[in-house]
Structure 1
Amino acid sequence: MKGLIALPAIILLLITRTGLSQSVPDIDKKMDSLFAHYNTHTPGVSIVVVKDGKTVFKKSYGSANLEHGIANTPETVFQIASVSKQFTAFAIYLLAKQGQLSLEDDIRKYIPELPSYGKAIRIRHLLAHTSGIRDLAATLTLAGWHIEDVMTTEQILKVTARQKELNFEPGTAFGYSNTGYTLLARIVERVTQQSFTDYTSKNIFEPLQMTNTRFYNDYHTIIKNRAHSYEKSDGQYIKKELLVADAGPSSLHTTAEDMAKWANNFYHPIIGDAQLIAAFNEVSVLDNTKPVVWAASGTDTTYHAKGQVRWKHRGIPAITHGGHTAGFRAWLARFPEHNLSIIALSNDEHYDILGTGLKIVEFYLKNQFTEPVTNNTSPTLATTKTEKYTSNLKDFTGYYYSDELATGYTVTLRNDKLTITHSRLSDIELTRIDDSKFTGINSFKFELEFVRNKKDIVGFKISNFGAKNVKFKIIK
């Protein structure tokens, strides 16, 4: 009888081992083919795949440092940009569970230096990107900053405190705001009387044994095994500097190996518990209780959930988030129904976060999809039409100043086109799209509209992706 019971077990064991011996080399070959363009002369990527709590794939490609010929490894430390946000949100949830704050708290309870906007901005609004607070990168570039300038939390808070208006009324819409997560990190500091770096290290990274993970709030810090970021220019890779010291929305440095430990915590909690994680994974809502929509295309809708996005890939529920700063690109994807997590950390500006990530998903869930691949068609481009405008371009010239940004622009007329100049920026030629509306590019595309008081020009308002209707007054 014992022999009869043991025989199927032995057969099952042999089948399992045979399956692994066939599948693992197959995955290895597919991964190697996917990343064959990375070598010692290029930056690259570190990949870790976790299935049922175990690492089933771990490999790195390309170089961490091209100047010194240092290869990427699973222990290489990358800056993971906006993937940092879920850690900041989790810190807030830990404090809420302990009763040290409420998600319904008015943020001015902790950051009283912010102006009052009439309607309270609550912690949950910051978490969900529904606060209406202007994005820090969008605002600072309008103020004449460059993306590679030094940017610290202190500077960002000072600029934010000068903002007299919001992009929209809190709780009524979704508007991605890095600034909101800067404020969340500051709330953690003021509640705990610890630096954000110390709090997250002691309460998240140490319990999870994420020994190579830390929020850095000083860009001078020496970080062992750190990758440098790169971008191609004229066919050659150049280094992209990152001098940001703003822990919260970004600035988390970690490894692909450590991120696997974080991913596993969602399935078998070491920090938090099942109830906290369930609440953390819930889709965020507006004040009217409607879900916060991150993006919608046809029948596909992506929802936001506290530093994460929830959606379905070919019918399979996914919880993901990507990150991009300087030349760093990062992706953490979890597929809860299959207990599968994929981590991809890259120092290549041109790394295709989603496209490459979904190819890796295909390697592991190929036979699990319930929906076919959708073919997205490109939108038809509208033709440009010639307009006759009543305003004379010369009427718009002059010097304009914004108290909110503590900066000014000079508008001049050159070769029958308006140009705006700033002491720290290259001159920007404007393209006319309406009688008083123009577009231009300053790190990000913007729209500028001149404002009249009866017949005289009194200023302009400028908007980009994350800062709406920032007002400038004309000073002749």
Structure 2
Amino acid sequence: MAQVITTKYLHNRKIFKITMNHWVAMVCFLIKKKVRTTFKFIAVILLVLYVGTTSAQNSDGQINIHHIANKIDSLLSNYSEKEPGVAIGLIKNNQLIYEKYFGLANLDYGIPIHKATSFHVASVSKQFTAFAILLLEDEGKLSLENDIRIYLPEMYKFEHKITISHLLNHTSGLKDKYNLLRLSGWTLDDVITNEQVLEIIFNQETLNFKPNEKHMYSNANYALLAEIVARISKMSFAEFTHKRIFEPLQMYDSKFVDQKGQVIKNKSLSYHKVDSIYVEDLFNNFSVGATNLNTTITDLSKWAINYDTKKVGSEVIFNKMQTLQHLNNGETYGYANGLFINTYKGFKRIEHSGQDASYQAYLATFPELNFSVIFTNTNGEINGAKMVYDIMDIYLEQYTTDETTKNPSVKKLTHQKPISKIPAELMLYEGHYWDEGDRYSREIKVENDTLRFITKNGNTALVPVGEHSFEMNIDNYVGISFVNNQMIITLDDGYRIYSEKYSPANYNATTLEEFTGRYYSSELNAYYSFYIKENKLVAKHTRLGDFKLKAIKNDYFIGNKGSFLKVVFVRNSFNDVIGFEVSSSRAKNVVFLKIK
């Protein structure tokens, strides 16, 4: 387990990084040797300086790095150094003040994670792609408001223009590349190249929504941005980022990987458990822009520090990367050209996370505190999201006093006081509700005299707060109201989800027969066959296997796998089934036509 705490002192204008072991060894040597009293005195002073520097406070009078280090050690105490692990970096006042390297980077050879270990950082890559685009804009080589077809003429000509800004901010309406690949028959064992990703995106003729009407995260956007950078710069995206970003910032251990088999020095592998045994979690995607940056804690610290120093990039670029964008209706959505912008415990936070295979990564900067946290993880059994929040909380506890702010487990106050309702009143709201926008079914049910919101993963109690109003009994505010057979869900940011009450469909083998047959999508070049098994409708793909479908309402079904979440059959004017539209989380209404 490697841990480095940075101490600096001025000597010939150099900054030295010395671990505790070095200090103690040096001091003990001077004290034990028969040297002059003056040198013994200096030795003691050196030890005091070390302790004072590492446990003392910084210029704001609060930081205690040893306290932080001990608490992070406590977080890792439940894990073994002989398993896949994590790397952590903390930056304060543009200095990497703390590094932690824990666990193994390669289980085959027992190679530990260390300072030079290279990590795949998944979607943390996106901010570099956005930065590359903004560098080109700063040089007058493109405009964010330009139609992307100027640079990508292969794109389908949609009714509404898609701009570079729409790509940057996930408001284009383009379907996610992973969802499309999965629906078309790709598996996690397949190699994915830039060319294949671009081909399937170029083949799309429909959007999830009109550009800039919504914000929906889509990896297709950033694959296209990388291609735009390559075409304008006349070099590969990997070459451009190396020349324009990594070299100037001396990020010598950073690269975008766009070739299968490409050598990555000190590469870490990711793992998860199968039957209590770790197996390598392969990542065969070599499409860049949305992902595929490999880098180190040290290099990411240089990037985070560049937010403040702006060694590479103009003030205009960094302002754009921190300015929230607006939808057509004027609303903001917490995203700004490759970065999420929000507040955490009262402080502005600029962040992005990422996950591919069992790799997890996170980079957050708190500009008001001049503090950043970097986290990488190669162990699929570690809850990386929880750990990184625990790390942030350890540092931020010195700045927060209010218990609700310091402790996320303390419940926020609800908007209204609870009231009493008898079970008979609650039963009026029981039933199934259909969200047409997301094509999602929700159930409300009374259990033990309590109205409950039912999901696949369990249920949540609804607390009455008004005549027809309830709140979920959870940490964050979620309001539920019932008006004229409609359920309205209001989230804590004011966003509303509308669902209509409906009666579930009741199909049998005979009535399901009209849905059977073979269907084809020209956008995906994929076939699915539908047949009946045990009085249930089943969709089958030759590579993906069976998807069991459950009827929700007439012509509406939900699937049991992620890529086949919702299926809606389409009829002609004679009421014949002529096709279906399938939706997954980030690819809505993909059209398949019946061919027999």
Would you call these one fold, judging by a TM-score over 0.5?
A: yes
**Structure 1 residues 410 and 313: CA distance shift in structure 2, 3 A:** same
- Structure number with the bigger relative contact order (C-alpha 8 A, sep ≥ 6) is 1
SS in 2 for 1:455: coil
Q: Is the 8 A contact 1:39 1:63 kept in 2?
A: no
Residue from 95, 103, 112 that aligns with 1:54: 95
Is 1:466 matched up with 2:538? no
Inter-partner Cα distance in structure 2 for 1:207 and 1:218: 24
Inter-partner Cα distance in structure 2 for 1:446 and 1:425: 14
SS in 2 for 1:354: helix
Residue from 177, 194, 201 that aligns with 1:160: 201
Instruction: Give matches, 1:16-165, under 5 Å.
Output: 18=52, 20-21=54-55, 23-165=64-206
- Matched residue type, 1:273: S
The TM-score, its normalising length taken from structure 2, stands at 0.73
Inter-partner Cα distance in structure 2 for 1:431 and 1:414: 12
Q: Is the 8 A contact 1:44 1:64 kept in 2?
A: yes
Alignment-derived partner of residue 506 in structure 2: 389
How far does residue 471 in structure 1 lie from its aligned partner after superposition?
Answer: 0.7
The TM-score, its normalising length taken from structure 1, stands at 0.91
- Matched residue type, 1:427: D
Inter-partner Cα distance in structure 2 for 1:179 and 1:351: 28
Inter-partner Cα distance in structure 2 for 1:34 and 1:469: 43
Residue from 303, 306, 311 that aligns with 2:342: 311
Q: Is the 8 A contact 1:46 1:345 kept in 2?
A: yes
SS in 2 for 1:43: coil
How far does residue 78 in structure 1 lie from its aligned partner after superposition?
Answer: 0.8
Instruction: Give matches, 1:193-212, under 5 Å.
Output: 193-212=234-253
SS in 2 for 1:430: strand
Q: Is the 8 A contact 2:547 2:559 kept in 1?
A: yes
**Structure 1 residues 388 and 252: CA distance shift in structure 2, 3 A:** closer
Is 1:217 matched up with 2:266? no
Could you tell which deviates more after superposition, 364-373 or 382-391? 382-391
Could you give the per-residue CA deviations for residues 399-434 of structure 1, whole angstroms, max 9, x where no partner exists?
011111101100010110111111111212112222
Could you give the per-residue CA deviations for residues 184-243 of structure 1, whole angstroms, max 9, x where no partner exists?
000001111111011000000000000100011112112110000111222221111111
Is 1:337 matched up with 2:373? no
How far does residue 28 in structure 1 lie from its aligned partner after superposition?
Answer: 2.1
Q: Identity over the aligned pairs, expressed in percent?
A: 37
SS in 1 for 2:308: coil
Q: Is the 8 A contact 1:463 1:469 kept in 2?
A: yes
**Structure 1 residues 179 and 438: CA distance shift in structure 2, 3 A:** same
Is 1:440 matched up with 2:559? yes
Alignment-derived partner of residue 281 in structure 1: 322
How far does residue 19 in structure 1 lie from its aligned partner after superposition?
Answer: 6.3
Inter-partner Cα distance in structure 2 for 1:15 and 1:64: 34
Is 1:192 matched up with 2:309? no
Higher Rg of the two aligned structures: 2
SS in 1 for 2:205: coil
Residue from 367, 384, 400 that aligns with 2:519: 400
Q: Is the 8 A contact 1:40 1:69 kept in 2?
A: no
Q: Is the 8 A contact 1:215 1:253 kept in 2?
A: yes
Inter-partner Cα distance in structure 1 for 2:322 and 2:141: 21
Q: Is the 8 A contact 1:38 1:61 kept in 2?
A: no
SS in 1 for 2:454: coil
Alignment-derived partner of residue 357 in structure 2: 326
Inter-partner Cα distance in structure 1 for 2:530 and 2:563: 19
**Structure 1 residues 455 and 288: CA distance shift in structure 2, 3 A:** closer
Residue from 369, 388, 407 that aligns with 1:373: 407
Inter-partner Cα distance in structure 2 for 1:351 and 1:284: 34
Q: Is the 8 A contact 1:216 1:253 kept in 2?
A: yes
Number of aligned positions between the proteins: 454
SS in 2 for 1:399: strand
How far does residue 38 in structure 1 lie from its aligned partner after superposition?
Answer: 3.2
How far does residue 323 in structure 1 lie from its aligned partner after superposition?
Answer: 0.2
Gaps of 5+ in 1: 1-13, 294-302
How far does residue 380 in structure 1 lie from its aligned partner after superposition?
Answer: 4.0
SS in 2 for 1:219: coil
**Structure 1 residues 373 and 252: CA distance shift in structure 2, 3 A:** same
How far does residue 317 in structure 1 lie from its aligned partner after superposition?
Answer: 1.2
Instruction: Give matches, 1:214-293, under 5 Å.
Output: 214-291=255-332, 293=333
Could you tell which deviates more after superposition, 122-131 or 219-228? 219-228
How far does residue 386 in structure 1 lie from its aligned partner after superposition?
Answer: 8.3
RMSD between superposed Cα atoms in Å: 2.2
Alignment-derived partner of residue 533 in structure 2: 414
Gaps of 5+ in 2: 1-47, 57-63, 413-450, 457-501
- Matched residue type, 2:581: K
How far does residue 149 in structure 1 lie from its aligned partner after superposition?
Answer: 1.5
**Structure 1 residues 162 and 439: CA distance shift in structure 2, 3 A:** same
Alignment-derived partner of residue 174 in structure 1: 215
How far does residue 350 in structure 1 lie from its aligned partner after superposition?
Answer: 3.4
Inter-partner Cα distance in structure 2 for 1:358 and 1:20: 23
Inter-partner Cα distance in structure 2 for 1:148 and 1:344: 27
How far does residue 128 in structure 1 lie from its aligned partner after superposition?
Answer: 0.3
Q: Is the 8 A contact 1:322 1:353 kept in 2?
A: no
Could you tell which deviates more after superposition, 416-425 or 28-37? 28-37
Inter-partner Cα distance in structure 2 for 1:212 and 1:142: 36
Inter-partner Cα distance in structure 2 for 1:331 and 1:143: 30
- Matched residue type, 1:424: R
